[in-house]
Structure 1
Amino acid sequence: MSKLSEEDIEKKLLRFPDWEYYDNAIHAEFEFENFKDCFGAMSRIAFECEALNHHPDWRNIYNVLTISLSTHDKGGVTNKDFKLAEAIENIVEPEE
């Protein structure tokens, strides 16, 4: 899997309005009702990360989850990051 160009990243981000590209990674911040809901989402995301063998840089402060995705061994964003971003979106904002 190769690193995506900035143009390819910007095109792919059109499908992910909650995400931004900067500092060689894609980033998003999600706010939940409370800490328990945030931690529950993190737990579900962790299972997806293990299944994809791809792990985010993330931070949790009370009810806010901040996530950065980059494929470190490729030196930037790859399709693997967008696959994980899609899984994260399906967990934090499921289709109704």
Structure 2
Amino acid sequence: MSKLSEEDIEKRLIRLPEWEYYDNAIHAEFEFENFKDCFSAMSRIAFECEALNHHPEWTNVYNVLKISLNTHDVDGVTLKDFKLAEAIELIVEEEEEE
């Protein structure tokens, strides 16, 4: 998997308005109704991460989940990161609808 250029990253981020590019990774922060909803989303995201064999750096404090994605093998952002970011977006959207 090859590292994307900054221009390619910025173009792809147009479809993911919750995400930003800085520090050689894409980042997002999601706020949920409560801890239970946040943890539920994290659990669902964890299954997706395992399926894609790609794992985020993330932190959780109460109802806030912060996620950073990059591909360590190439020291940058790849299509693999965007595939996981898109899956995370779908999970978060579903969680918000419940």
Please indicate the TM-score interval, normalised by the length of the shorter structure.
over 0.9
User: What is the aligned residue count?
Assistant: 96
- What is the percentage of aligned positions where both structures have the same residue? 84
Q: Which amino acid aligns with 1:82?
A: F
TM-score scaled by length of structure 1: 0.97
User: 1: CA distance between counterparts of 2:54 and 2:44?
Assistant: 14
**Equivalent AA in structure 1 for residue 77 of structure 2:** V
Tell me which residue corresponds to 2:54: 54
| Equivalences for residues 1-96 of structure 1 within 5 A | 1-94=1-94
Larger helix fraction of residues: 2
Task: Give every structure 1 segment of 4 or more consecutive aligned residues whose post-TM-superposition deviation is greater than 4 Å.
Answer: none
What amino acid is the match of 2:36? K
Work out the CA distance in 2 between the residues paired with 1:85 and 1:30: 12
Q: Which runs of 5+ in 2 are unaligned?
A: none
